[in-house]
Chains A and B, each alone.
Chain A
């Protein structure tokens, strides 16, 4: 059974600081996703990572994937208040037959304060 674990689950950051959220998964995967969820809102896709060594960046967020270690990281640079949200990683099982059957991590609640 595919399992996805994120840490930390709660992250309180000061504006301007850097931090990393980690996502470990238990079995071979086709692809890894990072989603953002604001309170009471839908999930917004941030990144899709496919291959070992993949790195994607958008603004102050950068995601990377190490398929050998079964680890993805979401790095936050110079945090700002607008980044406060819950961040989920999700993994799609290998083989491409379970379309859209994502296994999600528990989510990391990020709070950025002055």
Chain B
């Protein structure tokens, strides 16, 4: 079973459309994240949710709205897509309550490649 799964893997859409990316984790983690990887491979955090509560919200346009129906799911909805939104979006998860544990780390999904035309 895939630990952190994202759908779709590829998403091609026109400017101005609204789209969603779904993420689910079966690791029993209480915290989930969205990271964005641009064309130069830079990875930057966008959001983080802990037990359905938003805990990290970086400087991201408000066209991006994360939604966490429960601690195993974190979806990303994007309104009015722009060319500059083209990137690979990675979902990740971890424990928060056990973050001080020696080997605590993020587990990443396989990414969603978004292309805005």
B43 contacts the other chain (Cβ, under 8 Å)?
Answer: yes
Q: What are the residues of chain A within 8 A of B42 when measuring CB–CB?
A: 104, 106
Known contacts A42-B108, A43-B108, A100-B92; A106/B41 CB under 8 A: yes
Contact B55 A99 (CB under 8 A): yes
Min CB distance, B63 to chain A, in Å? 22
A96 contacts the other chain (Cβ, under 8 Å)?
Answer: yes
Complex CA distance for A45 and B44, rounded to whole angstroms: 17
A81 contacts the other chain (Cβ, under 8 Å)?
Answer: no
Beta-carbon contacts under 8 Å, A16-63 to B: 33, 35, 40-45, 48, 50
Max count, chain A CB within 10 A of own CB: residue among B43, B55, B94, B107:
B43
Min CB distance, A1 to chain B, in Å? 12
- Give the size range of B's interface with the partner: 20 to 34
Known contacts A99-B50, A99-B55; A107/B96 CB under 8 A: no
Min CB distance, A110 to chain B, in Å? 13
B86 contacts the other chain (Cβ, under 8 Å)?
Answer: no
Q: Look across to chain A and name the residue whose beta carbon is closest to the beta carbon of B55.
A: A99
Min CB distance, A61 to chain B, in Å? 16
Contact B99 A45 (CB under 8 A): no
Q: Look across to chain A and name the residue whose beta carbon is closest to the beta carbon of B9.
A: A40
Contact B31 A42 (CB under 8 A): no
Min CB distance, A40 to chain B, in Å? 8
Contact B105 A48 (CB under 8 A): yes
Min CB distance, B97 to chain A, in Å? 9
Please give me the 10 A-B residue pairs with the lowest Cβ-Cβ distance, nearest first.
Answer: A104-B43, A43-B108, A42-B110, A42-B108, A99-B96, A107-B41, A99-B99, A45-B105, A100-B94, A48-B103
What are 10 residue pairs bridging A and B, where the CB atoms are less than 8 Å apart in the complex? A43-B106, A45-B106, A90-B43, A99-B50, A99-B94, A100-B33, A100-B45, A100-B92, A104-B42, A106-B41
Interface on B for A, CB 8 Å cutoff? 4, 31, 33, 40-45, 48, 50, 55-56, 90, 92, 94, 96, 99-100, 102-111
